[in-house]
Amino acid sequence: MSNPETTRRVCLICSKGGLDEAYPALILANAARMSGIEAMIFFTFYGLDVITESKVDRLHVNMVGNPSSPMPTMLAGLPGMERFAAKMMKDRMAEMNLPTAREMVELLHDAGCDLYACELAMDMMKLERKDLLPQVKDVITAGDFYDLSVGAQIIFT
């Protein structure tokens, strides 16, 4: 690790696992790496879905209670609407040539972004290290996160 006083660093906390909620952390980390800024992401609570092998390819879009949704809440709560919204968003992202969440994790890892899972959230969700994508560097505590983020900007997404 470089000297925190001279190196620009960003540490992102990804706590949500919706398709539309995960991308801010992934995009910000990618932009940081492309700009020569050191980056790490700490995945906690439902953000773990982004780095969980069985869930990363099935992230959904939560339409119910989303104040930005163009769909009325009563309609958004119907069965299949989350899947429909996620498909629409994935189709639009594909049209724009945006990588999938899995591809973003791979790109970030290859670009030198450190990816960490929260130990407490892992225990709460009954996940084990083997459940995570191979690009995850380690499972750490919140205290470890603070130790690793000394001198960095911390962004909660």
Closest CA to 131 of 60, 72, 28, 53: 53
Radius of gyration of the chain (CA): 16
Total-model pTM: 0.88
CATH of region 20-58+99-156? 3.40.1260.10
Mean pLDDT by 10 residues, the chain (157 residues): 71 95 96 97 98 95 72 73 82 93 98 98 98 98 97 95
Residue 2, CA atoms < 13 Å, CB-side half-sphere: 14
3-state secondary structure of 70: coil
Domain parsing of the chain, residue ranges:
20-58+99-156
3-state secondary structure of 92: helix
Closest CA to 26 of 44, 43, 2: 43
